[in-house]
A and B are shown apart, each in its own frame.
Chain A
């Protein structure tokens, strides 16, 4: 296991390095300058400012400089937020994004498991049908539409929760619900299918024959076995929620990281683009690694060893 892990971590770092390199050069191919006031500056004025920021150096040299600094944990300072360190910018914005992301994820997955299980147990009844419709809606209605609807009715009309803004648990509820829709729908569909499968298998019949209660069967046998494959879905879902939160963050005016990313690209804020890209890709590869490890732990049949690999 240790050898396997070491190998995976090595590949993880290699992946990150490649992503950083490709992003760096792609980013430099974008037209324009990071200067906000570009429209009013002449070429020579831009040149003078470039010299101060080291942007007049050849791109490969800028690349080497950046990589050396990044390896030392220095991700540079933002152009847009003058003198603001990228690590600080990202650090102060990841909290809100993570809060609504995790809350949305947990809410969606937990509700999804419950709904999916009930659907499977009450297969082909009105309960199943209703759950089905809700999940289809959850998948097909984009999170931003849901966000706007929630904001308008719950925030503005009923005034139960803040319309937008950040501060306190109340302000995280609507965005979390908006984000929960897609993981909820996916999880519930997935669990239903799995559980219908499991409930039809021989060992469930055996448990029934032994006289185990219906709830007992569902808890002890069906649910646990149908959750195993869910792990593979939750990983990518978590990543999708990270990127999907940009729009929701914007609508609820949350000081999150998604919006920062879009803005940094539009304004050629090179150090910020790099910082956020690395954060996103780092999280993605980490989630995938964790998924593999957890999968190995909960399902002994597919535990991977370093041998022969």
Chain B
């Protein structure tokens, strides 16, 4: 009897499985929709709390600030309709668009910007992006508790006029305005939902191209639906975008192949297999990996010949193609390629810097330079450690570098692959000989990279130092800040100094490879800031 019952129940369960499975494949037509993969959970929709790419992407497509950043970092008016810059680049006066609505019905006004910005810089909010406000009047003082958050240099004159005061001209200021951390916030909503604000789709308000639906705060799928009260809704072509968090790259690929996903990022193994697929797309991130030499701990790293020798021994092309193979490219300098163009000539910053010696491969020269360097330092050999993360990619990197460096006589390298957080702690504490460091730009301006290597910067782990470099960066940030051409020259010269002296050894620029259905058009990509803007996406 019992066994029979079990069999009966089992067959009922099995039968219902197939019936349900059949239901799952039905498709609603007529509406424009697409399924997009995200590889990590969405942590928050609170502009003052967001820290990761997932959050920036969702906020950037459901909310809007003064500008949207178009193709090639073109500044496009969004809530701002007119911008006046005065006081030598230290005062920005924005005229705001009338009739822009929040999803709760309130109008978006200048007051919302003031509220949102003050909330982010308020130390009580503990925003991890408050530092990016540095340069706006009193921002640094507020962050360190020396001034009240209400003294921040932002003011509303009536509903449609917004004035921002800076401490010094910030040449990339307009770019920042397209970044979600600078978007307005609806005070009514923040107060109404209290600590629940931004923790789910229903406790967040929207003023951007899409509204979010179905995000509970911890689930793995949600929807962005076209926002029918958006001021520019005629340019939003998609009815909905379905986001699915799929962490496993293999699963995601299976879902892409069974048409459950229309866009997925590929792992480096998958890239090798799908490189020639018609849906294959490659994007370069504004993220550079480089090697820092600890000059404070190991005196011999003060010798530029030794640093250069180590850099010359690395065959970067072979490394990115044969070892990484994920779409990354060899870095020619610190500032990532494709980040920013010269306003006058239109030439890419990274190309303009052009210091070949900093990233070329020449083992013979490496050997000669190392011999000279060792002689100058009075050393017979050097034996040091290379530190990096403990991920598969990082381990492959360090193994490659070890074998490359040990081709130079009298160089011995040991490896230390440790978790990301440990690596970071050791880097900051100066507990390393050489380390592979990565930096991603927050905005599309070379200074985002170059400020790292001034003598007093806390991210300058190797303690490379140059008076001339410091002066140039200082000039770019102060005296030349409002002179676009001069500032650009300062930055080009500064990076040339860094590279000629091999203050760091550039390694590679991170690439991202994905499969995306070929009928999907109009997604705007920028390597820094909001990476993917889906506002004008369309399926043909």
Residues of A within 8 A of B (CB): 30-33, 35-45, 48-49, 51-53, 77, 80-84, 88-89, 92-93, 110, 114, 148, 151-152, 155-156, 159-166, 168-170, 173, 219, 250-255, 259-260, 266, 268
Contacts and interface: CB of A to CB of B under 8 A. Distances in A.
Contacts of B428: 43
Interface size class of B (residues with CB under 8 A): 35 or more
B131 A41 contact: yes
B359 to A, nearest CB: 23
Nearest to A47: B144
11 contacts: A31-B425, A40-B459, A43-B428, A48-B123, A52-B125, A82-B43, A92-B217, A152-B254, A161-B21, A163-B255, A164-B255
B43 A81 contact: yes
B51 interface: yes
Contacts, number: 161
A265 to B, nearest CB: 10
Q: Which of B25, B46, B220: most chain A CB closer than 10 A? A: B220
Given A32-B420, A33-B421, 12 more contacts: A32-B419, A36-B52, A37-B51, A52-B123, A83-B195, A89-B217, A89-B218, A92-B217, A159-B25, A164-B248, A165-B244, A173-B17
A156 to B, nearest CB: 5
A164 B254 contact: yes
A253 B21 CA distance: 17
B143 to A, nearest CB: 7
B251 A259 contact: no
A39 B221 contact: no
Contacts of A165: 220-221, 244, 255, 260
B260 A88 contact: no
Contacts of A151: 251, 254
A292 B422 CA distance: 43
Contacts of B130: 45
A295 to B, nearest CB: 22
Interface in B1-59: 2-3, 6, 16-18, 20-21, 23-25, 41, 43-44, 46, 49, 51-52
B123 to A, nearest CB: 5
Contacts of A42: 131, 458
Nearest to A268: B421
**5 A-B pairs with least C-beta separation:** A32-B421, A36-B51, A52-B126, A82-B49, A82-B44
Contacts of B420: 32
A238 B459 CA distance: 48
B515 interface: no
Given A31-B421, A43-B458, A49-B128, A155 B258 contact: yes
B99 interface: no
Interface string B235-276: 000000000111110110011011010000000000000000
B450 interface: no
A157 to B, nearest CB: 9
A169 B20 contact: yes
B24 A162 contact: yes
Interface in B177-208: 195-199
Nearest to B129: A37
Contacts of A251: 248, 250-251
A36 B221 CA distance: 22
A92 B216 contact: yes
B424 A32 contact: yes
A93 B51 CA distance: 23
B46 A166 contact: no
A36 B128 contact: yes
A232 to B, nearest CB: 22
B219 interface: yes
B143 A45 contact: yes
Interface string B102-133: 00000000000000000000011110111100
Given A88-B217, A251-B248, A168 B46 contact: no
A41 B49 CA distance: 14
Contact of A83 (B6, B129, B144, B196): B196
A83 B198 contact: yes
A250 B248 contact: yes
A276 to B, nearest CB: 13
B393 interface: no
Given A82-B43, A83-B196, A165-B244, A156 B21 contact: no
B522 interface: no
B409 interface: no
Contact of B24 (A83, A170, A219, A250): A170
Given A38-B421, A89-B218, A268-B421, A170 B254 contact: no
Nearest to B19: A170
B258 A159 contact: yes
A84 to B, nearest CB: 5
A49 B260 CA distance: 41
Given A37-B128, A82-B199, A170-B21, A163 B251 contact: yes
A245 to B, nearest CB: 14
Nearest to A77: B195
B494 to A, nearest CB: 20
Given A36-B51, A36-B52, A253-B244, A83 B46 contact: yes
Contacts of A162: 21, 24, 260
Contacts of A88: 217-218
